[in-house]
Structure 1
Amino acid sequence: MKYFLVVLFCFLASYNLQSQALLETIDSYKLEGKRELKIQLPRNYDSSAKRLYPLVIVLDGDYLFEPVAGNIDYQAYWEDIPDCIIVGVNQSTTRTDDFFYDEDTYFPAHDGAAFYEFVAAELVPYIEEKYNASDFRIIVGHDLSANFMNFFLFKDNPLFRAYIALSPDLAPMMSIRLKERLAIIEQETFYYMATADADVKVLRNAIIECDAQLKAIENKALRYKFDNFEDANHYSLVGRGIPKALNEIFALYKPISGKEYNEKILPFEGSPYDYLIEKYKDIEYFYGFEKKLIENDIRAIAAACNKKDDLESLEKLAKLVKNEFPDSMLSAYYMGMYYEKEGNLKRALQRYKSGLLLEPSQFIDKEIILEKMYETRDAMKN
């Protein structure tokens, strides 16, 4: 237990140093006052760059912002998910009014309607004008806010593409309305919901019933995931649900795994290079931003090229790497690999030598380049 607390303290200290939240105040015409925001920008965020980032809106930001921001920062560091712009809305003194819905229609009314309009017409435009946010938007809520966020689904063109509902306190008719709406939604939509064995009983029962409704939906545009955690309560399930939800939402974005390599790349009818290009095009289509080529995926595609003896695909990959990473040892390493496979050992050796003057990458360093040089020289002697 003591070791766990030390690790946790180190993680939180690191998080605080690397990703401290910005505190801003937005003037709201809809709410007739000011609202406090917590904003976390990606590491090395450059406002002048063209890169766009998914926008994550966190309701109940006074307590839910930190666990969401910490999870995103951690997973993005390891390239499992993209960097995101995270915005938390502080509601510690206003949440009952903010999430108010009419007792007859069960839709937002009075202060609840004003808060709905604030998010849609003021908050999101404010963030998109000030920061490099893409139109792939995620909304996160817990309890009352997890119910309220569903109202954004009922617009003709929903404001959000992904919904993370953590132990929602569902309004009457919400399960039926969700089923009807998600069954016909045309845009690719991600929906995650979670409860736990020790969740508030009345909430848990309604959530289980809602899950049964949503599981029956047959719609290729819907990506639905449900978790019913063991040994967790209404509050602790939040810490387990957030990373699971992010995993589901960004499944396509993730680096190529051993499973994807064996089950998708090797049986792929086209070339490994074609698979890589299609994967990155799909990421841009689904998420609305380009993913920078990562070394893990280069290694996987190169391995597939070698396994399939696909020299043409390996050449295309080497040229792509050279174009994307001209100052990295990666460019020399993969061009050298191509010429080596082609049988042109002299040019392969030249490429490997050129790598000594370049910057090391995550997996390719000077020792590996030298090793390839020695192997190539030995092969030229035989």
Structure 2
Amino acid sequence: MRILTLLLLVFSFSFSFGQKTIFKKYESDELKDIRDVSIYLPKSYEKDSISNFPLAIVLDGHKLFDLYVGVSNYYSNQDNAPEQIVVGIDMESTRNKDAGYDITNSNLRTDAKRFYRFLRDELIPFVEANYKTSPFLTIVGESLTANFITHFLKEGDPIFNAYICLNPTLAPDVNAKMQGFNLEKMGPMDNTFYFYLSGNPYAKSEKLTKIQSYGKFMKSVGVENFHVVFDELKSSPSSSSVIGEGMSRAFAKIFEIYSGITQDEYDKNIKELDPPSAIAYLEKKYLDIEYLFGSNIGIRQRDVVAIEDIIIEKENGDYLKDFGEMILKLYPTSEMGNYYLGRYFESGNDFKSALEQYRLGYGKMDPADPNADLFYQNVERVLGK
């Protein structure tokens, strides 16, 4: 029931926020054929003239395009993922030809190699030339096409940052193929990569065993900037829910850096930091968001508050001044920066400067704000000193 409710929410978001989908007949020189392509532009695309948007290539678009768009809208509206441009390729009648492999050596067949080059050399450059894309690219496949997308890992200069393989129908020696692709090459690269693999507890045992072996192998790669998640989804209530649950869980992992600071992130990465390191962590998090996703969203106020205790309680509050000045730069109309500067000066018994900062902060607040009276207590306290 929980998963059904989530999927209903996903599809309600998919059709409720004024998205624009362009349907295109793409005439391919490589394929000598015409393909039906759907290009989804997010709701902010026309409004935002500055930002670029991550690009997702969704194979099996006849099945997965609406699902991916729905999950993307759901996560972006929760501020847990950036808005994305989504390109779906209809493969209903061409899947076996476009994604087929030779069972004797696991190599792509001739038609699949053409389809590979169509994606790499035609479709992606076309989208990047005509739409405002960021450098972050995702590719999605299910069953046979999930096996197909693993071949992009052989590229010396990776095209994709994220790979979503849902319930793959894997080639016989896929593990040996991956070894030949030398995934360790990603280690020195100044970039971040994600590989999400989901199984299906309702699949035939032979297929499931192969997926489990592949998942174990991929998790053993051990490259720091190549993040691998293997979800067996044993608790999924039905076979039909596996793909939807896998897609949502893939988003949660791939875009976790975009989300605000969670309790888990705070406990693992921030809790033990000293004040300058906590400030640096926060700044780097948002630089990474801008670099990866093309989203200059500014530091969220709730993330500023998340590291407040470290700044105030550690090293005698000596970094309150740096903290306050950073917040004033980020949020010049907010009282928060003045508050932290006031705390800094008050702790050093510079009551005149503290009073000035508290008064400046109070002056930015709406008198109707229920917190205004609480904030003014800072002024009264310093006046009493």
**TM-score grouping bracket, smaller chain normalisation:** 0.7 to 0.9
Specify the alignment match of 2:229 in structure 1. Answer: 225
1:258 aligns with 2:257: no
Distance 1:19 1:104 in 2: 48
TM-score, normalising length: structure 2: 0.85
What is the aligned counterpart of 1:335 among 317, 338, 342?
Answer: 338
Distance 1:137 1:11 in 2: 22
Distance 1:171 1:6 in 2: 35
Q: In structure 2, what residue type is equivalent to 1:228? A: E
Q: In structure 2, what residue type is equivalent to 1:172? A: P
Q: CA deviation at 1:379?
A: 4.6
Q: CA deviation at 1:336?
A: 2.6
Deviations 1:214-269 (A, max 9, x none): 23323334211111112435542111111222222223333112233344323224
Specify the alignment match of 2:152 in structure 1. Answer: 152
Distance 1:144 1:104 in 2: 16
What is the aligned counterpart of 2:312 among 302, 306, 309?
Answer: 306
Answer whether contact 2:10 2:71 (CA < 8 A) is retained.
Answer: no
Distance 1:294 1:367 in 2: 22
SS in 2 for 1:43: coil
The change in CA–CA distance for 1:277 and 1:320 in structure 2 (over 3 A counts) is: same
Structure 1 unaligned regions, length at least 5: 359-364
Q: In structure 1, what residue type is equivalent to 2:241? A: S
Identify which range, 300-309 or 83-92, moves more after superposition.
300-309
SS in 2 for 1:223: strand
Answer whether contact 1:54 1:287 (CA < 8 A) is retained.
Answer: yes
Q: CA deviation at 1:136?
A: 1.5
Identify which range, 163-172 or 258-267, moves more after superposition.
258-267
Answer whether contact 1:101 1:112 (CA < 8 A) is retained.
Answer: yes
What is the aligned counterpart of 1:354 among 363, 366, 375?
Answer: 363
Specify the alignment match of 2:350 in structure 1. Answer: none
Q: CA deviation at 1:127?
A: 1.4
SS in 2 for 1:88: strand
Answer whether contact 1:19 1:41 (CA < 8 A) is retained.
Answer: no
What is the aligned counterpart of 1:372 among 375, 379, 385?
Answer: 375
Specify the alignment match of 1:275 in structure 2. Answer: 281
Pairwise mapping of residues 180-219 of structure 1 onto structure 2 (< 5 A)? 180-181=180-181, 183-186=183-186, 187=189, 188-219=192-223
Answer whether contact 1:60 1:89 (CA < 8 A) is retained.
Answer: yes
SS in 2 for 1:17: coil
Pairwise mapping of residues 84-103 of structure 1 onto structure 2 (< 5 A)? 84-103=84-103
Structure 2 unaligned regions, length at least 5: 347-352
What is the aligned counterpart of 1:244 among 246, 249, 255?
Answer: 249
SS in 2 for 1:229: coil
Distance 2:317 2:285 in 1: 20
The change in CA–CA distance for 1:250 and 1:184 in structure 2 (over 3 A counts) is: same
Specify the alignment match of 2:38 in structure 1. Answer: 38
Deviations 1:159-209 (A, max 9, x none): 112111111011122122124435423244311111132123332121112
Q: CA deviation at 1:270?
A: 5.6
Distance 1:8 1:241 in 2: 12
Identify which range, 250-259 or 5-14, moves more after superposition.
5-14
Q: CA deviation at 1:72?
A: 1.8
Q: In structure 2, what residue type is equivalent to 1:260? A: E
Deviations 1:82-116 (A, max 9, x none): 22222211212221221123455432333212211
1:62 aligns with 2:62: yes
Answer whether contact 1:352 1:373 (CA < 8 A) is retained.
Answer: no
RCO higher in structure (CA 8 A, sep ≥6): 2
Distance 1:73 1:19 in 2: 11
The change in CA–CA distance for 1:266 and 1:105 in structure 2 (over 3 A counts) is: closer
Answer whether contact 1:348 1:376 (CA < 8 A) is retained.
Answer: no
The change in CA–CA distance for 1:47 and 1:356 in structure 2 (over 3 A counts) is: closer
Pairwise mapping of residues 7-86 of structure 1 onto structure 2 (< 5 A)? 12-18=11-17, 20-25=19-24, 26-46=26-46, 49-86=49-86
SS in 2 for 1:177: helix
Q: CA deviation at 1:59?
A: 0.7
Distance 2:10 2:228 in 1: 31
Distance 1:9 1:286 in 2: 30
Identify which range, 185-194 or 54-63, moves more after superposition.
185-194
The change in CA–CA distance for 1:184 and 1:137 in structure 2 (over 3 A counts) is: same
Aligned residues: 372
Distance 2:310 2:326 in 1: 16
SS in 2 for 1:185: helix
Over aligned residues, Cα RMSD in angstroms? 2.9
1:324 aligns with 2:333: no
Identify which range, 243-252 or 222-231, moves more after superposition.
243-252
Q: CA deviation at 1:155?
A: 1.8
Answer whether contact 1:19 1:73 (CA < 8 A) is retained.
Answer: no
Answer whether contact 1:179 1:214 (CA < 8 A) is retained.
Answer: no
Q: CA deviation at 1:66?
A: 1.9
SS in 1 for 2:298: coil
The change in CA–CA distance for 1:218 and 1:15 in structure 2 (over 3 A counts) is: closer
Q: In structure 1, what residue type is equivalent to 2:360? A: R
Answer whether contact 1:196 1:231 (CA < 8 A) is retained.
Answer: no
Q: CA deviation at 1:54?
A: 1.8
SS in 2 for 1:101: coil
Deviations 1:299-353 (A, max 9, x none): 1123321122564533333333333333x4xx32322332134214421332223
Q: CA deviation at 1:367?
A: 2.2
Deviations 1:118-158 (A, max 9, x none): 11111111111122211221111110110111111112222
TM-score, normalising length: structure 1: 0.86
Q: CA deviation at 1:61?
A: 1.1
Runs of 4+ in structure 1 deviating by more than 6 angstroms, as ranges, are: 3-8
